[in-house]
A = this chain, B = another copy of it.
Amino acid sequence: MTTLGQALASTARHNTERIAILDGDSRITWSQFAERVARTAGALAQRDVRRGERFAIYARNSRRFDELKWAGFWLGAVPVPINWRLAPPEVAHILNDSAVGLIVVEEEFAPVFEVGALAEWSDRLLGLPDAYEAALAEATPAPMGEASEDDDAILLYTGGTTGRSKGVRLTHRNIVSNALAFGLGTGARRDDIYLHVAPMFHSADLLGTAWFLIGASHAYLPDFSPGAFLEAIERYKASATVVVPAILMATVSDPNFGKYDVSSLRLLGYGAAPMAYEWIERTARAFPRGCLSNSYGLTETAPDLTIFDPAEFIAAIESGDRSGIVTSAGKPNVLVELRVVGPDGKDVPDGEAGELWARGPNIMKGYLNLPKETKAALAGGWLHTGDIARIDQGGYVYLLDRKKDMVITGGENVYSSEVEAALHRHPGVREAAVVGLPDERLGEALFAAIVPAPGAKPSVEDIIQHCRPLIAGYKIPRRIDFVEAMPKSALGKILKAELRKTYGG
């Protein structure tokens, strides 16, 4: 098998009556799912969405979202999932850039296409679920298209929060190979029930692909809240899911946590942002032992680069060494090669920090319509991740900072993550973000924004005293502000560019 369409055909053929999807009280078998995907593909083809053509999906997580994605894969057409939290001009950029012929939109969201920047697209809409179901009812199942493994499978927009978002072209091979590596690294099993919590417009949802390839079952969470998340785990007996730290922190802090049965979980993956040690420990203790696993990747890597083996992770947590490997993102998955490269383009000495470069069959084909940016990102056959990292003697990978978030203060390189880790160790700190602000004397001066823990009221002096034994003097923030909330992306990443804009002037 080489394309996702071929993969689905094989999974369905060999898992006919097994459950593919759990949706409320409904159960959809693999035969039924494949049949619906083929009909959806027929409905798309009737609307001139053919091999190589793109169509947008603007919706919350649901089984129909996956039917649409897989119908695209089946045809060799290219789904373009869109973050529905973006502003209309940002969405318009994506629609124009990707030149979609059809937009499948959750009916509740349809009004955004009635006025303003998106009004000109209103004649290309197909409403979800009603109009979609009607289209399905009258469609003929389409045969599998002739896609090749190096064809685009999906187009995912990234980086929309700073500058114009870029469309990341991921091929069938990118997605299949990454799914295998992630499935192997996390021990995916056919009897798993995978709960799709991360937004399906984000690359994180591709982490669930292994569970399609092996014929496991899937359930969907349309809107996150701690209660809904816990309820879904209990209801579906979910055994595998991948989320962001913010979700874990909100969930284990929920007063009703203990009322739900979460014993079915075997794999609780998280990534996309670092999590403070206290929260790692608390989460590991709240959920079944050994299910927690950290991973790291980018949209450009379809999306995984590293995995922290769940067994090694729990051992690291239980060792109590809060500054050891537990602060790493684990090791590269089985298909990925990593290098740590200095400004001169050469590998830095072992253990030192530099930009992380990655190579493997999961690396994107490029950015749509951006040949220059593509060439720069993939120069020399390696993806330049823009992340500063180091790799220790044992091979664990530590993410230190985004290259653009690294602060150079008084001639010293400071990785914001190191300062943030020190701040997080203060019991009165719930969230902390460190950026550099322009400074006449130092070039950049360190600024920390802190969200206090509920009920806590730490002072600036408290925080500084707390940091002194933990980090060098030049790494201690020159300015500390307490804030109610951090600016965040849809996936819960703190937007440092926003912080710099707000405070740096």
Contacts and interface: CB of A to CB of B under 8 A. Distances in A.
Interface of A: 1-2, 6-7, 9-10, 13-18, 176-177, 180-181, 183-185, 187-191, 210, 213-215, 309, 311-312, 331-332, 334-338, 359-361, 391, 393-396
B6 A337 contact: yes
Given A16-B395, A185-B214, 11 more contacts: A7-B334, A10-B332, A10-B336, A14-B331, A16-B393, A17-B393, A176-B335, A177-B180, A184-B184, A187-B187, A215-B331
Contacts of A395: 13-16
Contacts of A14: 331-332, 391, 394-396
Contacts of A191: 311
The 4 closest A-B pairs by CB, nearest first: A14-B395, A14-B331, A180-B180, A213-B334
9 contacts: A10-B337, A13-B395, A14-B331, A14-B395, A176-B335, A180-B184, A180-B335, A187-B189, A189-B311
B214 A334 contact: yes
B190 A210 contact: no
Given A2-B361, A359-B1, A334 B16 contact: no
A181 to B, nearest CB: 7
A70 to B, nearest CB: 16
Given A13-B391, A17-B394, A332-B14, A2 B183 contact: no
Contacts of A180: 177, 180-181, 184, 334-335
A18 B393 CA distance: 11
A96 B338 CA distance: 41
A180 B178 CA distance: 11
Contacts of A394: 14-18
Nearest to A362: B1
Question: How many copies of this chain?
Answer: 2
B184 A1 contact: no
Contacts of A183: 184, 334
Contacts of A214: 184-185, 334
A332 to B, nearest CB: 6
A352 B222 CA distance: 43
Nearest to A30: B395
Q: Indicate the member of A176, A185, A311, A334 with the most B CB atoms within 10 Å.
A: A334
A181 B331 CA distance: 20
Q: Indicate the member of A16, A184, A185, A393 with the most B CB atoms within 10 Å.
A: A184
A338 B10 contact: yes
Nearest to A338: B10
A176 B334 CA distance: 10
B187 A1 contact: no
Contacts of A335: 1, 176, 180
B2 A360 contact: yes
Nearest to A339: B13
B190 A309 contact: yes
B337 A9 contact: yes
Contacts of A337: 1, 6, 9-10
Nearest to A312: B190
Contacts of A184: 180, 183-184, 188, 210, 214
Contacts of A309: 190
Contacts of A185: 214
A391 B180 CA distance: 25
Contacts of A213: 334
A18 B183 CA distance: 22
Contacts of A312: 190
Nearest to A12: B395
B393 A1 contact: no
A334 B332 CA distance: 22
Contact of A1 (B18, B188, B311, B360): B360
Contacts of A190: 309, 312
Contacts of A13: 391, 395
Nearest to A2: B361
